Amino acid sequence: MINWADYPNFTKAEFDCKETGKNEMQKRFVDVLQAIRTEFGKPMAISSGYRDQSHPAERNKSTPGAHTYGCAADVAVSGGDAQHLMYLAYKHGIRRIGVSQKGSGRFLHFDMAEHHGFPSPALWSY
């Protein structure tokens, strides 16, 4: 169980499933995100955190994605800040990074799903 008071730069609501309201984020992952945020020194807007398997982005997948394990988050960021965040994420042990830097919905996906059998290291673009 996560004590959200331990994370001065994040709230539970940011990580709640937008479909169900559930939140099963893993403490070890949020600990790493907080360390990244502290070093980054700027806000990190979480656009997607935990996703229940019934979430539209998950329900048509053949196997559950990293968000369903509570060890993934998408951070709304672009430009030089995106490059700096990727550097910090790698520095703090994130080895799975997805990059979406086109159009209006730019974000970085960070996850630690290697503990659930996902290939690592991995870098991909959307």
Q: Domain for residue 6, yes or no?
A: no
Question: What is the total residue count of the chain?
Answer: 126
Q: Which residues contact 87 (CB under 8 A, 6 or more apart)?
A: none
In tens, the pLDDT along 77-86 reads 999 999 999 9
In tens, the pLDDT along 12-62 reads 999 999 999 999 999 999 999 999 999 999 999 999 999 999 998 898 888
What is the number of structural domains in the chain? 1
Range of the domain at 41: 12-125
Q: Domain for residue 62, yes or no?
A: yes
Q: Domain for residue 3, yes or no?
A: no
CATH number at residue 43: 3.30.1380.10
Q: Domain for residue 113, yes or no?
A: yes
From residue 55, how far is each of 65, 114, 124 by CA, in Å? 11, 22, 22
Radius of gyration of the chain (CA): 14
In tens, the pLDDT along 93-115 reads 999 999 999 988 899 999 999 98
